[in-house]
Amino acid sequence: MKYIEMIVGSFAAFLTFLAFSGYNILPIVFLIVLISSVYLFSGKAMTKGKNFVLSSKTINQNISFEDIGGQETAKNELSEALDFVKNSDEMKSLGIRPLKGILLNGPPGTGKTLLAKAAAQYTDSVFLSASGSEFVEMYVGVGAKRIRELFAQAKQSAKKQKKLSAVIFIDEMEVLGGKRGNNSHQEHEQTLNELLVQMDGISSNEEVKILIIAATNRVDMLDSALLRPGRFDRLVKVDLPDKKGRVHILKLHMKNKPISDDVSIEKIAKDSFGFSGAQLESVTNEAAIMAMRDGSKEINSDHFHNAIEKVMMGEKLDRVPNMEEKKRIAIHESGHALIGELMFPNSVASVNVASRSNALGYVRQTQQDDIYLYTHEYLKSRISVALAGVIAEEIILKSRSTGGSSDFKHASEMAKQIIYSGMSDLGIISSEDIPKDQVHNMISKILREIENETKEVLCKKKSYLEKMTELLLDKETLSGDEIRILINNQDSSQCA
Ligand code: ADP
């Protein structure tokens, strides 16, 4: 850098000297401006290219399949596929074509990156990672160049580290590998074509064998050429963990933390239904932070309880709604909690009216077991729980509020599930061919019926609602047990 500055400085001095000596330096200045702008223009792309090479890190973190909780099916499928890479000589003798690509499909935070790292460790390969968005550029040819650089770097790193194979992990594959078509940009097409060319060039005779592991949550968006045999040959589904998986993940992330004896991992796993691995990691971390704030040497069950609420609903806010609003929120949440407990006994874990970033108030319900199939009755009961908040407002305050809009959205989604599963009065239907207004009318009918039924139930339990609201306004949070005691001891009084 210093030399460049010295050269530029001397050249400027030389030009000044020429100017003073009476030479016309304008053509030279013009030429310099022209050359520098061309250099800067292409340099911008080049610099990005260089950055990219740096950002596609070669990581030697030792992550093995044992460090990944749950995901047993994904791990089995992946290691089975990787055995092809490990036993490549045997494969070659049988004339089996090399495995070039594995596509991991699943929601964010489920451990796809970890699986790719474990795959590199399992096959004793170097590991390079890049994200699909790093290849997206305006200038035609830049993305393709980066793909070539990535493959070249993989080979170089493997040779340097004396390894026989390299795993290239590409996250957000849908960005790089989206469908080509009328609307796609020429740059995008070139980049994707280059990836296909590079993948086609992978052969078992190469000195360094390359395996591409890509991750996406949108397989439907990928160009069909990528999914053709010989490219991404294996599709491995990486789902949200079930309860057993959650227990495993929690245990892994609790390993290095002092956990109090009152903590039940089973209970935390039950309470964190629907959480991804990343969210579970966050729960253990938040719980540890809360213990530190409390000055406690160990992380106890209260810390975990609060950490789950924080990860689910966001940070507690200082924002305090006015008394009238707070009362409405308490009534709304009492409605959800009451119907929730009546429809699914022992399911309510807590009711809160302390505002968090994602909600003004909320009810946390847990499930005894993970459910994979929903019955008609189950969906109807869930809709009833969703509608109960606004209905409670109407029963006690004689008016509704906007607090129910997300509940309605949720309820409509579930009504759609009833319709598309052939459980509505429309019978079995084809979701593509049925007119939209027919679906809309059926959604309205389902919701109206459930709304009336829920109103009837809540009316009969009005005094429960009133008592729960009073307690909530006083304590801000009620546990599931407190709600169950209230329901069992309170005499019901009907709507006027
Ligand atoms: P993805 O690539 O699917 O978005 P990552 O693999 O990057 O998810 O996971 C992010 C973080 O979440 C990991 O570093 C790890 O701490 C945690 N995590 C996610 N899934 C698991 C799992 N199955 N087991 C253990 N930790 C997990």
Distance in Å, CA 215 to ligand 1 centroid: 13
Q: Which two tokens stand for residue 241?
A: 């963990």
Rounded distance, CA 310 to CA 357, Å?
9
* pLDDT (0 to 100) of residue 484: 92
Distance in Å, CA 229 to ligand 1 centroid: 28
* pLDDT (0 to 100) of residue 268: 92
Rounded distance, CA 307 to CA 290, Å?
8
Report pLDDT digits (tens) over 334-391.
Answer: 999 999 999 999 889 889 887 776 677 888 887 766 677 889 999 999 999 999 999 9
277 lines ligand 1 (CB under 6 A): yes
* pLDDT (0 to 100) of residue 467: 93
% of the chain residues with pLDDT over 90: 48
**What's the CATH number for 243-313?**
1.10.8.60
Query: Given the CA of residue 238, which atom of ligand 1 is nearest to it?
Result: 3
108 lines ligand 1 (CB under 6 A): yes
- What is the CATH class of 323-489? mainly alpha
* pLDDT (0 to 100) of residue 44: 47
* pLDDT (0 to 100) of residue 412: 96
Rounded distance, CA 130 to CA 146, Å?
10
CB 231 within 8 A of CB 225: yes
**Mean residue pLDDT across the chain:** 86
Q: Which residue among the candidates 333, 341, 393, 394 is catalytic per the annotation?
A: 333
* pLDDT (0 to 100) of residue 43: 45
Side chain identity at residue 477, one-letter code: T
Rounded distance, CA 327 to CA 329, Å?
5
Is the C-alpha dihedral spanning 315, 321, 327, 328 positive or negative? negative
Query: Given the CA of residue 171, which atom of ligand 1 is nearest to it?
Result: 2
* pLDDT (0 to 100) of residue 424: 93
**Closest Cα to atom 11 of ligand 1:** 278
Helix (H, G, I), strand (E, B) or coil at 350: strand
Report pLDDT digits (tens) over 17-45.
Answer: 888 877 887 887 788 778 777 655 554 44
281 lines ligand 1 (CB under 6 A): yes
111 lines ligand 1 (CB under 6 A): yes
| Helix segments in 21-141, DSSP class H | 26-55, 72-86, 88-93, 112-122
The DSSP line for 278-344 is HHHHHHHHHHHHHHHHHT-SSB-HHHHHHHHHHHHH-SB-S----HHHHHHHHHHHHHHHHHHHHHS
104 lines ligand 1 (CB under 6 A): no
* pLDDT (0 to 100) of residue 436: 92
Q: What are phi and psi of 261, to 5 degrees?
A: -65, -20
Where the chain has pLDDT below 70, the residues are: 1-5, 38-61, 138-140, 182-184, 204, 317-319, 357-358, 368-370, 490-496
**Closest Cα to atom 17 of ligand 1:** 278
Note whether 65-237 and 323-489 share their fold. Answer: no
**Angle separating helix axes 405-420 and 376-397, nearest 10 degrees:** 150
390 lines ligand 1 (CB under 6 A): no
Query: Given the CA of residue 70, which atom of ligand 1 is nearest to it?
Result: 23
Report pLDDT digits (tens) over 408-434.
Answer: 999 999 999 999 999 999 999 988 889
Output the CA–CA distances (angstroms, integers) from residue 142 to 25, 201, 202, 393, in the order listed: 36, 20, 22, 58
In CATH terms, the fold of domain 65-237 is: Rossmann fold (3.40.50)
Question: Residue 286: CB partners within 8 Å, gap ≥ 6?
Answer: 306, 307, 310, 311
Residue 137 known to be catalytic: no
CB 141 within 8 A of CB 308: no
Is the C-alpha dihedral spanning 35, 40, 43, 45 positive or negative? negative
To test ligand 1's pocket by mutation, which of 73, 114, 237, 255 has the most ligand atoms within 8 angstroms of CB? 114
112 lines ligand 1 (CB under 6 A): yes
Question: Could you say which DSSP state residue 134 is in?
Answer: G
Question: Residue 399: CB partners within 8 Å, gap ≥ 6?
Answer: 393
Torsion of CA 399, 404, 410, 411, to 10 degrees: -10
Rounded distance, CA 69 to CA 75, Å?
10
Q: Which residues of 298-331 are buried (b: 16+ CB within 10 A; e: fewer)?
A: ebbbbbbbebbbbbbbeeeeeeeeeeeebbbbbb
Domain boundaries, the chain: 2-54, 65-237, 243-313, 323-489
Query: Given the CA of residue 104, which atom of ligand 1 is nearest to it?
Result: 3
Question: Could you say which DSSP state residue 428 is in?
Answer: S
Q: What are phi and psi of 153, to 5 degrees?
A: -65, -40
Distance in Å, CA 277 to ligand 1 centroid: 5
The pTM assigned to this predicted structure is: 0.74
CB 273 within 8 A of CB 371: no
The DSSP line for 185-222 is -HHHHHHHHHHHHHHHH--TTSSSEEEEEEEES-GGGB
* pLDDT (0 to 100) of residue 337: 95
